Amino acid sequence: MLDIRWKAGLFVCALSVIGLFLWLITSATTALIVFSLGLLIYLISHIYWLHKLNSWFQAPEIKGIPEGSGMWEDVFTTLLQYERNNKLNQTQLNSALEQFSLVTRAMPDGLVILSASNEIEWCTPNAESQLGLNLITDKNLPVVNLIRDSNFISYLYNEIYSEPFKLRSWRNPDIVLEIQLLPFANKQKLLISRDMTQHEKVDVMRRDFIANVSHELRTPLTVVGGFLETLNDMEGAVPDNLKSYFAMMEEQTIRMRRIIEDLLTLSTIESNTENPEDSEIDMPSLLKSVQNDAIGLSQTLHKTKHNIHLDVDRRLNISGASDELRSVFTNLVSNAIRYTPAGDKSTGKKGEVFISWALRNGEAVFSVRDTGIGIEQKHIDRLTERFYRVDRSRSRETGGTGLGLSIVKHILIRHQAKLEITSELGVGSTFSAVFPKARIVIKKASA
Ligand code: ADP
């Protein structure tokens, strides 16, 4: 088939040849008239097909594409092919969209697409019902105008989305949602909401059960412990050959009481959804007293003392619940003492514990480094699980309950802080509590 340019050129050439021929056999005037008439007809035909094309654009139906003639036949054939492909792509796109819509409807989770400036671009029906949104009226509105929970707003703006966030529905507080934000593409965010109501109910039942059992056990244990102590103290009440058994019974009772106390502490912290108290904590004096307690513990456990160093940025305070945070620091420091041999007689080297409190990249970091037994890498992620212990007997011997780091983790979560652990087997460990900028209070230098 001839190329469209050839077709146009061929007509003009043929017309020129006819014109020349007429010039030769008749006159120049006749040739010019015929040539001009030919060009006029050619022009009129182009105008006609242009008009047809323009009319088609007014109502672009695939059936209405004219057939055309000459070079216009090619133009309309190409247009027909283009329209057919277009139609096919459109059908494929529609079916993909239909599939996508069916999949998102079938998903139990809700999905919301947020723009770079946190406006709602799109959401699924599940997200509408879970979060009380309406895509028609709420499209392009800032999400914070619609989800007004202050914790959600700080989660959104803090831009730390590694952990999901728990949101209690403001319309029905019995509904608990887990919200996860995932940044994608051009600073947009995907918000995934998951209904955790059932899961939360089971969790509450578990927590209540543990709290109730612990409460129920606390009183009888106190009574047993009290009687054992009295019997041990009473002259001649315990025969000499049974004294060691009584001592063991007393020791185990004390251990059980410690476990119960820790279980109660953990369930109180876990079930407390209120924000922690927000008073400024005098960190230098708190850490000094933590250091003193550590010296006492080192003396009791190991008879010889560790070297316990304290390095504190005296201008740096934080806001939070003082009792809870004291328990975090004490737990971490006491672990360092318990899992660090006090000294090596052969080398004369003492066990070292370094406590530090300083600013690091805009965050406040409490850190405890020891030169103790260290922890194998494979255990590190599991240390904050309840009752997870690398060496059960060592934990027991040093008065451990296996709950210390779980308590630490939950208190830190309540303070939007995180626990970092690095360790090398046989070399030592570093446990750091990292507090966000929002909790930092810098003391003014006194005049
Ligand atoms: P425990 O009461 O058993 O110490 P924790 O929850 O405080 O329970 O700690 C969990 C486990 O983590 C401990 O049993 C121990 O194996 C390990 N661990 C904690 N701190 C240290 C440390 N500083 N050095 C080595 N191991 C540690």
Which residue has its alpha carbon closest to ligand 1 atom 20? 335
Tokens representing 67 are 């057939």
Q: Would you tell me which CATH number, out of the four given (3.30.565.10, 3.40.50.970, 3.30.70.360, 3.20.20.70), belongs to the domain 279-442? A: 3.30.565.10
The string of pLDDT tens digits covering residues 419-441 is 999 999 999 999 999 999 999 99
Instruction: Please report where in the chains the tokens 């960190």 appear, as a residue.
Output: 283
The string of pLDDT tens digits covering residues 75-97 is 999 999 999 999 999 999 999 99
Ligand 1 centre and the CA of 205: distance in Å? 28
The pTM of this model reads 0.70
- Report the first-to-last Cα separation within the chain, whole angstroms: 96
Asked if the model's pLDDT at residue 346 lies above 80, the reply is: no
Ligand 1 centre and the CA of 208: distance in Å? 26
Average pLDDT over residues 14-31: 91
The string of pLDDT tens digits covering residues 102-159 is 898 888 999 999 999 999 999 999 999 999 999 999 999 999 999 988 888 988 988 8
Q: Which residues pair with 420 in a beta bridge?
A: 432
Q: Exposed/middle/buried for 422, CB within 10 Å: 0-12, 13-18, 19+?
A: middle
Average pLDDT over residues 198-226: 92
Ligand 1 centre and the CA of 306: distance in Å? 18
Which residue has its alpha carbon closest to ligand 1 atom 23? 336
Answer whether 333 contacts ligand 1 (Cβ < 6 A). Answer: no
Answer whether 383 contacts ligand 1 (Cβ < 6 A). Answer: yes
CA angle 393, 399, 401 (to 5 degrees): 80
C-beta neighbour count of 274 within 10 angstroms:
6
Long-range residue pairs from 15-21, CB within 8 A, at least 24 positions apart, any chain: 15/39, 15/42
**For residues 111 and 348, which has the higher predicted lDDT (pLDDT)?**
111
Tokens representing 262 are 């820790």
Residue 311 contacts residue 344 (beta carbons within 8 Å): no
Question: Would you place residue 8 in the very low, low, confident or very high pLDDT band (cuts 50, 70, 90)?
Answer: confident
Provide the pLDDT for residue 345. 67
Answer whether 353 contacts ligand 1 (Cβ < 6 A). Answer: no
Burial per residue of 136-156, b for 16 or more beta-carbon CB atoms within 10 angstroms, e otherwise: eebeeeebeeebebeebeebb
Which residue has its alpha carbon closest to ligand 1 atom 7? 404
Asked if the model's pLDDT at residue 447 lies above 60, the reply is: no
Tokens representing 421 are 């652990």
Residue 367 to residues 45, 152, 400, 430: CA-CA distances in angstroms? 88, 29, 21, 7
Question: Would you place residue 2 in the very low, low, confident or very high pLDDT band (cuts 50, 70, 90)?
Answer: low
Answer whether 380 contacts ligand 1 (Cβ < 6 A). Answer: no
The full set of domain ranges for the chain reads 4-101, 107-195, 202-273, 279-442
- Enumerate residues 6+ apart whose C-beta is below 8 A from 140: 119, 120, 121
Average pLDDT over residues 389-402: 89
Provide the pLDDT for residue 85. 95
Say what angle helices 71-106 and 28-58 make with each other, to 10 degrees: 10
CATH 3.40.50.970 assigned to domain 107-195? The reply is no
The string of pLDDT tens digits covering residues 315-329 is 999 999 999 999 999
* % of the chain beyond a pLDDT of 90: 66
Residue 31 to residues 15, 216, 292, 299, 402: CA-CA distances in angstroms? 10, 120, 119, 124, 111
Provide the pLDDT for residue 4. 74
Provide the pLDDT for residue 1. 57
Ligand 1 centre and the CA of 273: distance in Å? 27
Answer whether 400 contacts ligand 1 (Cβ < 6 A). Answer: yes
Average pLDDT over residues 379-405: 92
The string of pLDDT tens digits covering residues 161-173 is 888 888 987 777 7
Q: What's the per-residue H, E or C state across the chain?
A: CCCHHHHHHHHHHHHHHHHHHHHHHCCHHHHHHHHHHHHHHHHHHHHHHHHHHHHHHHCCCHHHCCCCCCHHHHHHHHHHHHHHHHHHHHHHHHHHHHHHHHHHHHCCCEEEEECCCCEEEEECHHHHHHHCCCHHHHCCCEHHHHCCCHHHHHHHHHCCCCCCEEEECCCCCCCEEEEEEEEECCCEEEEEEEECHHHHHHHHHHHHHHHHHHHHHHHHHHHHHHHHHHHHHCCCCCCHHHHHHHHHHHHHHHHHHHHHHHHHHHHHHHHCCCCCCCEEECHHHHHHHHHHHHHHHHHHHHCCCCEEEEEECCCEEEEECHHHHHHHHHHHHHHHHHCCCCEECCCCEECEEEEEEEEECCEEEEEEEECCCCCCHHHHCCCCCCCCCCCHHHHHHCCCCCCHHHHHHHHHHHCCCEEEEEEECCCEEEEEEEECHHHEEECCCCC
The string of pLDDT tens digits covering residues 30-79 is 999 999 999 999 899 999 999 999 999 998 888 889 888 888 888 999 99
CATH 1.20.81 assigned to domain 202-273? The reply is no
